[in-house]
Amino acid sequence: MNSVEKIELLGMNMLEMEDFAVSQGQPRFRGRQLHRWIYIKDTSSFYEMSDIPREIRQQFDDKAFISIPRVLKQRVSEDGTRKFLMEMNDKKRIETVLIPQSANLNGRYTLCVSSQVGCPFRCAFCATGQGVFQRNLSAHEIVGQLLGSRRELRRRLKNPQEPLITNVVFMGMGEPLLNLAQVVRSIQIMNDPRGIQLGQRHITISTCGEAHGILRLAEEDLQVTLAVSLHAADDQLRDELVPINKKYPLETLMAAIKTYVEKTGRRVTFEYIMLDEVNIGRKDAENMAKLVKPLLANVNLIPYNEVGGLLYRKPDPSRVKQFYNWLAALGLNVSIREEHGGDIEAACGQLAVKPN
Ligand code: SF4
């Protein structure tokens, strides 16, 4: 029997793992053991599961597999950010970024996961959007990014104080709302208190404006944070920077966000990439205030991280501050996002993998 005919265990919830154990003539608690080894210990080899008898491990290995993505390459930034190049079973590659929340590298981390191999949206400033869209990732490949990154971190930081991934943001490669079913399933698995134990309020889904997906997300019973990448506050400029705007112009997008806020009772965050001499004028600030203020939302400003081959430039700090001041004076809750991993092309909008 080759691995294609075997059953993938990663991505199963506890009940499904118990059912798998029963299907193998084993008691249900063997499924709970598998669950613990996979989601707490990041194990992908049955032979490491020392509390399961050897012959049962062999039997499981004959029938199933656990495909935590392989880390092919790892780059570490001066600030401790790690960018992983990961390979899926079908050899498709994606990038995942692990960002320390403080200078203590044995402390807490935020993981930026990818939801697709490439991205069909082709935003003008984004490295991912310049590549070829290949496919959606499945839930087990999304959860696998967390286990694979954590496993690497545990190996590299040989310190008794356990580093923790306490936040996950869907801000890597791809538009998560185009892959909503698998994203939701991955969140349910990461949220399980008997496994990864990641609170839903520590998870952020970021969209470039998939208005239909926002309405669908509002129907899910989730406590996650929604971040909307605005990047321009008038349709003409947004059509240019974020082409999905032609399908869902600002009026449609803002109506979907309003419905989301009313349905879920949760605030949204707006992300705004600052492009020098493109979208940070006084008029842009005024347009943004008109759109965002009624929603009582937070605005996160992200000074652009330059991408080779693209013409956009990062504004100098005085322009960043000026735009920030305008927005604050217009009454918005605004902050400037601290940059991480810019020196290893791991910052926002810089992720890219050549198709294979
Ligand atoms: S910014 Fe996001 S949605 Fe736009 S092309 Fe890049 S990955 Fe896709």
Could you report the per-residue pLDDT of 299-325, keeping only the tens digit for each?
Answer: 999 999 888 888 899 999 999 999 999
Average the pLDDT over 131-145 and give the result.
96
pLDDT tens for 225-238 read: 999 999 999 999 99
| Cβ–Cβ under 8 Å, residues 99 and 109 | yes
Average the pLDDT over 173-196 and give the result.
97
Query: Is 95 labeled as catalytic in the residue annotation?
Result: yes
The domains found in the chain, sorted by start residue, are 7-65 (1.10.150.530), 70-344 (3.20.20.70)
Ligand 1 nearest atom to the CA of residue 122, by list position: 5
Backbone angles phi, psi at 77, to 5 degrees: -80, 165
Please work out whether the CB of residue 94 comes within 6 Å of at least one atom of ligand 1: no
Query: Is 348 labeled as catalytic in the residue annotation?
Result: yes
CB contact set of 125 (below 8 Å; sequence gap of 6+) = 231, 241, 273, 275, 304, 307, 310, 312, 349
Confidence of residue 26 (pLDDT cuts 50, 70, 90): very high
Residues counted in the chain: 356
| Catalytic choice (18, 95, 141, 345) | 95
Q: How far apart are alpha carbons 167 and 112 in whole angstroms?
A: 9
Share of the chain above pLDDT 70, in %: 95
Q: Cβ–Cβ contacts within 10 Å for residue 284, how many?
A: 20
Please work out whether the CB of residue 244 comes within 6 Å of at least one atom of ligand 1: no
Radius of gyration (C-alpha) of the chain in whole angstroms: 21
pLDDT tens for 257-294 read: 999 999 999 989 999 999 999 999 999 999 999 999 99
pLDDT number for residue 120 = 93
Q: Would you call 111 helix, strand, or coil by DSSP?
A: strand
ipTM of the complex as predicted: 0.98
**Ligand 1 centroid from CA 353, angstroms:** 13
pLDDT number for residue 1 = 47
Ligand 1 nearest atom to the CA of residue 242, by list position: 4
What is the CA 255 to chain-centroid distance, rounded? Answer: 25
| Cβ–Cβ under 8 Å, residues 241 and 231 | yes
pLDDT number for residue 273 = 95
pLDDT tens for 168-182 read: 999 999 999 999 999
Average the pLDDT over 2-25 and give the result.
91
